[in-house]
Amino acid sequence: MAILSTMLLMGIILGFAGTGGSGFIIGILVAVFHIPVHTALGTSIAAMVFTTLSGSVSHFKEGNARLRSGLIIGAFGAGGAYAGTFVARMIAAEQLVWLTSGMLFLSGLLIWFRTSKLFPANREAATEGKDVTGDSSFWIKACLTGLITGSLSGIFGIGSTPFIQLALLIWFGFPLRQAVGTTMVVILPIALFGSIGFFQAGYLDFVLLAQVVAGTMIGSYIGAKFTKRAPQLLLRSAMIVTPMVGALLMLV
C-alpha cells in the first residue's frame, strides 16, 4: 500500500505538470525503498510507457496534445533512448545517482528560464492551431530533439520531459498548455524503447513495475484533467519545482 499510494501521488504530478514525475519515482525508489539505481531507472522508464499512454489519452481528449507532431518527434527519440541504455550500463551506480540528480536540477532551471518574463507569452502561442509537420525545418528539429532527448532518457531514465517541453516551447512555438500535453505523446515511444534496452540488460523488476504502474496510471489520468484548468502560474511552478525536488531525493 505504501508503494501504491506513493506512486498514485507521483502519477498525479506527472499527469498535471508533464514533468518531474519520473525523477520523483527514481528518487523515492532509491532513497526510501532502497532499490539499486540501475533497476530504479529501468523500472521508472518502463512505468512511463503506461503512465504516458494514460496521460496522453487524457491530454488529447482535453485538446492539450498535438498527436502527429508528438509521435514524429517520439519516433526519433525512440532510437536515441535505446542507444542511451547501453551508455547507462557502463556508468557506476554512485556516479549515475549524481549525474541523474544533476540532470533533474538542470531541467528545472531550464524550464524556469524559458517560462520567465524574458520570453513574451505571445511567442508561445505562435503556432496554436497550425499543423507544422509539413515544413522541412520541422523534420530537422524533430530529428535533433528526438535523438537528444531520447538519449538523455535512455541514460538517466528520467523521461527528459523538461527538455522536451523546452524544445516544444522554443523551437516549435507551442503554447505552454500544448507543450505539456504533447510532451506526454513524445515520451511514449521513448519510454517503450528505453525500457526494452534496460530489460535486455537485466535492470527491470516486473513485480516492482506492476506496483509502480498501478499507482501512476490512475494518477496520471487524474492529473492531466487539471492542466487545462490550472492557472498559468501554478502550472509553471509545478513544472519547475518537481524535477528539482526529484533531484534532492536522488541526493538523499
- The model's pLDDT over 24-39, given as tens digits with 9 standing for 90+, comes to 778 788 888 888 888 9
CA–CA dist 183, 163 (Å, integer): 9
CA–CA dist 143, 23 (Å, integer): 25
**Does pTM top 0.85 for this prediction?**
no
Which of 4-8, 163-167, 192-196, 209-213 bottoms out in mean pLDDT, i.e. has the lowest? 4-8
List, in order, residues 6 or more apart from 140 with CB less than 8 Å away: none
* DSSP assignment letter at 173: -
| Residue listed under C-alpha cell 539499486 | 36
Q: What is the CA radius of gyration of the chain?
A: 16
In the predicted model, what is the mean pLDDT of residues 72-95?
Answer: 92
pLDDT, greater one: 154 or 58: 154
Banded pLDDT at 110 (limits 50, 70, 90) = confident
pLDDT at 125 over 70: no
Highest mean pLDDT: which of 67-76, 97-106, 162-171? 67-76
pLDDT at 147 over 90: yes
Q: C-alpha grid cell for residue 86?
A: 547501453
Q: What share of the chain is helix, strand, coil (3-state, %, to 5)?
A: 80, 0, 20
Banded pLDDT at 130 (limits 50, 70, 90) = low
